[in-house]
């Protein structure tokens, strides 16, 4: 039951496309009849209308028949247009020759049939170009999402190559040094704790003490008793929490 509407919609789309194709060729035929190019202006308007409708509608369907398999193999606009225009020219030239013979009483000689070949090619190229533009599929530009900037990027540059890509657990101040705890082990670096905090300001974590910074996802449990507390980390470390630094942890719901 669910496939029937899809098939019906597809058939409706094909019918609308067919009607649009016919309307396009008819419209071009009317324009050509009014302009009367290639010597057709010598005929009456009624004769020109019949003549150009036969040539344009018939030639249009020749072009569609040739374009269908070419389109599946060639995606480049101009290459496809050139191949289709060249391939359809002999068939449309034959159609024009037969139309000239039956409607204009032209003698059916080889020279008379071949003579308008270049003119036919020019018209084929122009109208097939118009058709390709009319049915061109919109180019969809897919924006590649930018990778989110690592808030730890600046601080990671302080670490050795071995630990630069490791998960940061905590930063501990030791005199004029910092002990950086990662899931790849500890590392002692020369830096001020204040500079480290500035570089870690956008990273998810907490300063728990005047000498400790802890990554938020490293905390396992927080306890608070008699105005002081401690945070147990998933790696086994126990980190002190001072009263002055307890606010952000409390606001985050740890106690």
pLDDT in tens, 146-187: 656 888 899 999 999 999 999 999 999 998 899 999 999 999
- Whether 5 shows a pLDDT value over 50: the answer reads no
Tell me what percent of the residues of the chain surpass a pLDDT of 70.
91
The angle at the Cα of 29, spanning 118 to 76, to the nearest 5 degrees, equals: 60
- Whether 43 shows a pLDDT value over 50: the answer reads yes
Average pLDDT over residues 245-255: 88
pLDDT for 18 equals: 83
Between CA 136 and CA 132 the distance in angstroms is 6
Break the chain down into helix, strand, coil percent, rounded to 5. Answer: 55, 20, 30
Strand locations in 21-152, DSSP E?
A: none
What confidence tens digit (pLDDT) does each residue in 84-134 have?
999 999 999 999 999 988 888 888 888 888 999 999 999 999 989 988 888
224, β-bridge pairs: 229
pTM for this entry: 0.48
pLDDT for 70 equals: 92
């Amino acid at each position: 039951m669910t496939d029937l509407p899809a098939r019906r919609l597809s058939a409706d789309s094909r019918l609308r496309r067919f009607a649009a194709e016919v309307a396009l060729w008819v419209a071009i035929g009317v324009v050509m009849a009014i302009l009367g190019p290639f010597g057709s202006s010598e005929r009456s308007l009624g004769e020109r209308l019949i003549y150009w409708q036969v040539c344009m509608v018939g030639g249009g369907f020749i072009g569609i028949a040739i374009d269908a398999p070419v389109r599946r193999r060639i995606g480049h606009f101009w290459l496809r247009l050139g191949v289709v225009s060249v391939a359809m020219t002999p068939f449309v030239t034959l159609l024009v020759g037969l139309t000239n013979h039956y409607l204009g009483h032209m003698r059916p000689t080889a020279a008379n049939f071949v003579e308008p070949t270049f003119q036919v090619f020019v018209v084929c190229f122009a109208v097939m170009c118009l058709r390709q533009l009319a049915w061109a599929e919109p180019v969809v530009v897919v924006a590649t999402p930018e990778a989110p900037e690592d808030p730890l990027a600046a601080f990671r540059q302080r670490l050795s190559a071995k630990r630069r890509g490791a998960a940061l657990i905590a930063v501990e101040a030791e005199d004029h040094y910092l002990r950086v705890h990662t899931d790849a082990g500890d590392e002692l670096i020369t830096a001020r704790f204040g500079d480290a905090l500035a570089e870690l300001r956008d990273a998810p974590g907490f300063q728990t003490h005047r000498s400790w910074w802890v990554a938020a996802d490293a905390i396992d449990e927080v306890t608070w008793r008699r105005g002081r507390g401690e945070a147990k980390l998933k790696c086994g470390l126990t980190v002190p929490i001072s009263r002055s630094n307890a606010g952000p942890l409390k606001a985050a719901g740890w106690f």
